[in-house]
Structure 1
Amino acid sequence: MIILLTGHISAGFAQAAKPLMTLKQIDPEFSSIVSRNAKAQILADGFLWSEGPVWVESQKMFIFSDVKKNMIYKWTEEKGKEVYLKPSGYTGTLPRGGELGSNGLGLNLKGQLVICQHGDRAVSIMDAPLDKPQPKFIKIAFNYKGKRFNSPNDLAFLSNGDIYFTDPPYGLEKNVDDPLKEAPYQGVYRISANGKITLLTDTLTRPNGIGFFPGGKTILISNSDPSKAYWYVYDLDKNGLFTHGRIFYSANEAAKTAAGMPDGLKIDKKGHVFASGPGGIWVFNRAGQLLGKILINDLVSNCRLSGDEKTLYVTSNHRVLKIVLR
C-alpha cells in the first residue's frame, strides 16, 4: 500500500492544516489511472449541498446542482462560478425545505439537459438550449402505476435512448417516513425511448448513484444505507431488464470509521469505476477489485470525468473540486 499526499486547501479554510487530497494505492494498477503527481484544487465553494456533476464538452462547462438551494450552477475557465438555472428541481408555490432542488443531471442523445427533480418528484428535460437555460421543463417520468415517485436522484443513459434512474426518499422532507411518500419501496426504473416506465427492482433500501459499464450490458448501483453500504451490479437481459443481481463491493466496515456512503459514481471507457464512498472516491476495476482511493478532506457526494477522462470533477459538500488525474 502506498499513500501520497497531494493538493492543499487554500488559506482561509478551517481545514487548512490538512491536505485536501490523499492518494491511497492498494493495487499497482491504480497508478496508471491516478498519477502520483495528481493535483487537486477547489474550483468554487459556498454551496449547501453540491451534487449531480456533468461536464458539457460542447460548451466547455461544468454544471452541478445545489440540491438545497434549488439551483444549478455552472463553472467555466473564463468566468468561474455562475448561476445556471433557478429553480431547478422544485417549481411549486408552497414553501418547503430539505433537499428540494435538482440532483442528478445528464445529457440525452439529443444533447438536452435531463434533470432529476427532487421537489417536483420527476425526471424532466429542460425545454431550452444548453447555452440559453430557462426554468421550463418537460416531465418525462413522474409516477409509476399512479403512485408518485419519491425523489428521482441519479440517472444513466443507454445508447438506444433509454434512461435508467434511482428513486430514494432523500428529497422528501421527512425522508422515508414522509406522509407524502406513495410507493412502499425505493425503486430503480427505466424510461424507454418510447416513454414507457418500467420498475426494474424494488429490493434496494437506498438506491443512489448509477452507471453503465462499457457495452451497456451491466449496470452498477450504489446503496447509501449505513446498514447495507454496498455497490450492487446487475446484468441486463435482452429486454434491458435486470438479472443476476449481486454485491459488487461492500463499504460496511469503512462506513464505521469514515464519513460518507456509496453515492454518485462514474465509469470510464475502460470500465474503471470512480465511486464516492466513505472517505472520498473509491477506484475499482470492472471486476470489482478495489485499486485505490482518492481520499478527500470533506464529505463527497459525486464525481464526473472530463471528455478526455484526464480530469475528475468532484462535488464535495459545500464546494466543488477539480482533480487532474494524469
Structure 2
Amino acid sequence: MRFLPRLLLLLLPGAALAQTPPPTRFTTTGHIERKAPGLDALLAPDAQVEILASGLGHPEGPVWVADSSMLLFTDAPTSTVYRWSAGRGLTKFLEHSGYTGRLPYSRETGANGLALDGRGNLLLCEHGDRRLARLPLGQPSGKLTLTDHYQGRRYNSPNDVAVQPGSGIIFFTDPPYGLPRQENDPLRETPTSGLYRLRPDGKVTLMAAHFTRPNGLGFSADGRTLYVAQSDSLKPLIMAYPVNAKGRLGTGRLFFDLSQVPKVRPKEVPDGLAVDRAGNVWASGPGGLLILSPQGQHLGTIDPGEVVANCAFGDDGRTLYLTVGTWLCRIRTLSSGF
C-alpha cells in the first residue's frame, strides 16, 4: 500500500506528460545550398535542420538566455512569448505579451523582437501597445515602458531591437506592421518608419528616416557595425553602419542587395538576422536563411522548406535557432555566436 500514492500520481491526467522530456531525435527538414567554398568552415557537410516545435502562429524574435539555458521567442498572433529548453521542451513564458487594450486590434498584436540588456532584463518590441518595454526575467509581472513615443507622437509598432555590445545603447526599428491597416491606418501618428536609438539616460533619437520597411537588426561582436534589414519587396536590402562607442552612426553602406536572389516562396523578404563572432551575417530572405561573409559574399543558404523569419545563436554558441513558418528549428554550426 505504501506505493499507492506514487501510482495514483502517475495515473493523474497530464502528470506523466508534464514530466516527459522532449525527444532526443527530431524530424529534419529542408536542405543546404552551398554556393561558395567558404561555407564549409561554417556548416558541416552533414548539418541538418531539426524541427523542435510546430503548430505556432508566426514565431519571431528568438533570443538565448544563457544563465537559464533556454530560448525565448515570440508568437505575435497569439500575443505569447514561449520558452524552449532541452530539458522541458516548449512551454509558455509570458501571455498577453504585446497588447493591453481591447481586442480585436490587428493580426499581430503581440511582441515581436526580443533582446537582453545585459542587466537581467528582457526587452520586448510590442506591436499592440506600440512601445519598447523592459521585463525583469525574474519578475513576470514587472514589465515597464522604456519608450512609446518620439517628439510627442506614438510609434507605429516597434519590430526589432538590438543592444550595442559594451555600451548598452539600444537600437530599434519601427515599421507599421503591427497596425491594423499598416501604413494606411488612421491610428498612425508617426509618418516615418524609423531606426531609433535609446541611450541609457532615456534620450531617444531618430537615427535614420529613409527606410521604407526597417526590420531586423544585428551588431558585430565588437559593437562597431550595425546591420539593418529592410523588408521591402521592391527594395530588399541589408545596410551596414559604422557605430562609435557613444552610439553615433556613420554613413551607411549597402551590405547586400537581396533583389539579386531569386524568391523560392511568396512573402520572402529580409527579416531577422544574426552575426557570428567572425563577422558572418545569417539573414532571412529569399530561399531561406542566407549566409553572407563579412565582405557581403553569398556563401550559401539554409532552406528549411518554409519562410524563415528570424534566427539567434544559442547553447554553446554553435547552435543556430530559427523561427520558420509555424515551426521552431535549429541547426548546428561550426561558427560561433556571441
Written as runs of structure 1 = structure 2, the 5 A alignment for 1:114-263 is 114-129=123-138, 134-158=140-164, 159-237=166-244, 239-254=246-261, 256-259=263-266, 260-263=268-271
Question: The residue matched to 1:312 in structure 2 has which SS?
Answer: strand
2:279 maps to what in 1?
A: 271
Structure 1: 5+ residue stretches without partners: 1-7, 11-18
Distance in 2, Cα, partners of 1:127 & 1:211:
22
Letter in 1 for 2:333: L
Distance in 2, Cα, partners of 1:116 & 1:278:
24
Distance in 2, Cα, partners of 1:70 & 1:107:
19
Distance in 2, Cα, partners of 1:309 & 1:9:
20
Q: Find 2:330's aligned residue among 311, 322, 325.
A: 322
- Percent identical residues: 37
1:5 maps to what in 2?
A: none
Give TM-score scaled by structure 1 length: 0.90
Distance in 2, Cα, partners of 1:94 & 1:70:
12
1:287 maps to what in 2?
A: 295
Give TM-score scaled by structure 2 length: 0.87
User: Would you say 1:104 and 2:113 are equivalent positions?
Assistant: yes
User: Would the alpha carbon gap of residues 202 and 215 (structure 1) be closer, same or farther in structure 2, given more than 3 Å must change?
Assistant: same
2:304 maps to what in 1?
A: 296
Written as runs of structure 1 = structure 2, the 5 A alignment for 1:19-38 is 20-38=29-47
The 10-residue stretch of structure 1 (107-116 or 232-241) with the greater mean CA deviation from structure 2: 232-241
Contact 2:120 2:137 in 1 (8 A): no
How far has the Cα of 1:235 moved from its partner? 1.4
Deviations 1:252-289 (A, max 9, x none): 13354544111000001111111111111101111211
Letter in 2 for 1:67: A
Contact 2:169 2:247 in 1 (8 A): no
How much is the aligned-residue C-alpha RMSD, in angstroms?
Answer: 1.7
Letter in 2 for 1:212: F
Which is strand-richer, 1 or 2?
A: 1
User: Would you say 1:75 and 2:84 are equivalent positions?
Assistant: yes
Question: The residue matched to 1:103 in structure 2 has which SS?
Answer: strand
Structure 2: 5+ residue stretches without partners: 1-24
Contact 2:99 2:128 in 1 (8 A): yes
1:15 maps to what in 2?
A: none
Question: The residue matched to 2:40 in structure 1 has which SS?
Answer: helix
Contact 1:87 1:135 in 2 (8 A): no
Contact 1:143 1:149 in 2 (8 A): yes
Contact 1:226 1:255 in 2 (8 A): no
How far has the Cα of 1:101 moved from its partner? 0.2
Distance in 1, Cα, partners of 2:200 & 2:65:
22
Which has the higher Rg, Structure 1 or Structure 2?
A: 2
Contact 1:213 1:286 in 2 (8 A): no
2:5 maps to what in 1?
A: none
Deviations 1:144-201 (A, max 9, x none): 0001111111111112111001111111111111111111110000110111101000
Question: The residue matched to 2:210 in structure 1 has which SS?
Answer: coil
